Structure 1
Amino acid sequence: MKYVIVGAGIAGVTAAKTIRNIDKTGEIILIGKEQYFPYNRYVLTEYLCGLIEDPQLFYTSPDFFNELAITFRKGQYVKSIDCSKKTLKLFHNEVIPYDRLMLATGGCSSVGSVLRPYTKFIQRYCSLEDILLIKKQLPDIHRCIVSGEGLSTLDLMCGLRNLNKEIIYVTRTEKAGFPLIESTFGDQIHEFLVNKGIRIICEDRIVFIEKKDSRYQAVTFKGHELTGDMIFASDHYQPNIKCIKDTPIERKTGILVDLHLKTSLHDIYAAGDCVEIYHPGVKDYWINFGWPNALKQGEIAGKNMAGQIEEYKISDVIVFNLMGKSLTARWWE
């Protein structure tokens, strides 16, 4: 049996390890787009702030894959999948066959049509590569302009404030708000951020960005002209599913899976931030995100790929830390 896993985040790594625990002789290939060994994405902000070092960031090593007889192909991008032939093609046209395939390609925040022309001026905040670029420029960063509604935006602002950077936050909502379970604190999050020194511009959005000398100027819909050393902006969460573009694998925004993490095609599974799974509480498919969910999905998908039968039990919340305050949030928003 040949197992191929696309995506070397926690879902993919956990699936590979789980498969090996069950199938001692099958061939396992793990393909990762990044040039780095797998790392803990949920501590990237702590890494940016210098609160942790490399040993706390990376959770695998070359010995990890060698000991489990897993072939790790880092820095490889999957260009396409031929489901009828059960093969996938890498960016440089190498073709890899599979018996069972798992897609764990993750996702990241993205901008909409209004800001898309200005993406070259917008700093991403998603991967280790992004963090290393920001760290390199930290001495020259004094003021940041931030726009976005998700928890990653909240995490970003916490990191920037811990680094004593000035922040201007632009939000489309009447007041700053995030999908927090603690409704009382959720109602107070706006004042909490203001008290931390963050300037908040409400019911507005960035519509234009240009670079002037070494700084950036952003103009909002209501005419605010803002100047900063770095701009972060996101409009929505976007699963990375380009590799299934020309396949019959069913999708909405993400890859649709059942409770066994199976896609609509036989022998193809998916897990982590690239999937949408049916949530009975909201009676719809929603993008699942968060490290604990991805880890558990990777485990369940790995078991099912190796011949066991187990269902994924949906977890409604994720837990995170906000400037020393432990909070929970709904994962489906």
Structure 2
Amino acid sequence: MKHVIIGAGVAGITAARTIKELDREAEVVVIGDELFLPYKRYLLSEFLSNSIKRDELLFCSVRMLKELGIKLRKGTWVKAIESSKKMIKLLHNEVVHYDKLLIATGGSPTLGLVLQPHKKHIHFYYSLYDTLVLKEKLPEIQKCIVFGDGVSCLDLICMLRNLGKQVTYITKGERATFALDEYDFEGELQEFLEEKGIEIITEDQIVSIEETDHGYKVETIQQKMLTTDIVFAWDYYKPNISCIEGSAIEKKLGILVNVNLETSEKGIYAAGDCVEIYHPGIKDYWINFGMPNALEQGKIAGKNMLGQHEEYKIQEAIVFNLMGQSLKARWWK
């Protein structure tokens, strides 16, 4: 049986490994759009701050892929899925057939209408490529402006501050919460960050970015004029699901799946940051970005592609380190 996996991140590679560990005879093809070997995105800050070496970023090696018999196609884009013919089309019209298909294309930071015209002045911090570019620029950077939300944004501003950079964080909210609806933290998160030397501007947002001889001039909706060496900004994270456009696969913001991670189309599964699933706790559909979620869903998807019926369940909480203090957030697992 041929298993095709779109996406070479944590969810996709975990599913591929799970399939081959349970069925050595299965044919597994992983198609990834990046040119790098699969890596641990959650360790990019450690790599940027020289806490780990580049080879420690790897999620799997060439040797492991070869030993398991997993075929990895790097730098390849999937432009269409035709479920009725059990095939996908690649960017240059190559056709790949499958028996079971997993979509694990992840998500990425996205700019809204206000920031879109200023894209050329904005540095994303999401991929290994982004990190390698930033690593080259770091010695010349002192002042940083960050606009965004979520745990990855929190990770970014803390990493920059730990490197001795001057950090200004801008948020639309009344306080800096980083979309952590429920968290346990000793004291107030915003006050903790301010004590660490991070300037926080609330109830504001970037409306203009202009390049100058010495960096960038940033204007906010509250008419603040700021100067900086680099601007990191995004409005929201969005599932990467352009490959399902024109198909019968049901979606909202992400690809809709049941507790077995099956999509609306038979034989097609989805896992990781591109997935939207009903959350009984909040009684609504939910996209949960992050490595623990991708790892767990990848394992379950791999098993279920082989005919098992394992369900995706909620874990109460995970704990992560924030500049020497622990922060607990509720997540899907």
Shorter-chain TM-score: what band? over 0.9
Task: Quote the Cα distance in structure 2 between the aligned partners of 1:85 and 1:325.
Answer: 52
Give the conservation status (yes or no) of the 8 Å contact 1:145–1:230: yes
Alignment map for 1:227-242 (pairs within 5 Å): 227-242=227-242
SS at match of 1:160: helix
SS at match of 2:157: helix
Give the conservation status (yes or no) of the 8 Å contact 1:149–1:171: yes
Relative to the length of structure 1, the TM-score reads 0.96
Query: Is the alpha carbon distance of 1:300 and 1:149 closer, same or farther for their aligned partners in structure 2, counting shifts above 3 Å?
Result: same
- 1:146 matched residue in structure 2: 146
Compute the displacement of 1:108 (Å): 1.6
Compute the displacement of 1:281 (Å): 0.4
- 1:90 matched residue in structure 2: 90
Compute the displacement of 1:6 (Å): 0.5
- 2:254 matched residue in structure 1: 254
Give the conservation status (yes or no) of the 8 Å contact 2:185–2:328: no
Q: Does 1:63 align with 2:59?
A: no
Compute the displacement of 1:180 (Å): 6.0
- 1:265 matched residue in structure 2: 265
Task: Quote the Cα distance in structure 2 between the aligned partners of 1:226 and 1:309.
Answer: 54
Q: Percent identity?
A: 55
Relative to the length of structure 2, the TM-score reads 0.96
Q: Does 1:13 align with 2:10?
A: no
- 1:125 matched residue in structure 2: 125
Compute the displacement of 1:316 (Å): 4.4
Task: Quote the Cα distance in structure 2 between the aligned partners of 1:64 and 1:205.
Answer: 45
Task: Quote the Cα distance in structure 2 between the aligned partners of 1:249 and 1:216.
Answer: 43
- 2:304 matched residue in structure 1: 304
SS at match of 1:173: coil
- 1:4 matched residue in structure 2: 4
Give the conservation status (yes or no) of the 8 Å contact 1:194–1:200: yes
SS at match of 1:174: coil
- 1:216 matched residue in structure 2: 216
Letter matched to residue 97 of structure 2: P
- 1:292 matched residue in structure 2: 292
Q: Does 1:197 align with 2:177?
A: no
Give the conservation status (yes or no) of the 8 Å contact 2:29–2:73: yes
Compute the displacement of 1:318 (Å): 3.5
SS at match of 2:256: strand
Give the conservation status (yes or no) of the 8 Å contact 2:185–2:326: no
Compute the displacement of 1:56 (Å): 1.9
Compute the displacement of 1:181 (Å): 3.8
Structure 2: state its 5+ residue gaps: none
Task: Quote the Cα distance in structure 2 between the aligned partners of 1:143 and 1:153.
Answer: 16
CA RMSD for the aligned pairs?
1.4
SS at match of 2:319: strand
Task: Quote the Cα distance in structure 2 between the aligned partners of 1:89 and 1:213.
Answer: 46
- 1:162 matched residue in structure 2: 162
Task: Quote the Cα distance in structure 1 between the aligned partners of 2:249 and 2:183.
Answer: 37
Structure 1: state its 5+ residue gaps: none
Letter matched to residue 34 of structure 2: E
Moved more, 172-181 or 138-147: 172-181
- 1:327 matched residue in structure 2: 327
Moved more, 172-181 or 32-41: 172-181
Task: Quote the Cα distance in structure 2 between the aligned partners of 1:183 and 1:62.
Answer: 40
Give the conservation status (yes or no) of the 8 Å contact 1:215–1:229: yes
Task: Quote the Cα distance in structure 2 between the aligned partners of 1:254 and 1:158.
Answer: 29
Task: Quote the Cα distance in structure 1 between the aligned partners of 2:30 and 2:294.
Answer: 16
Task: Quote the Cα distance in structure 1 between the aligned partners of 2:279 and 2:63.
Answer: 38
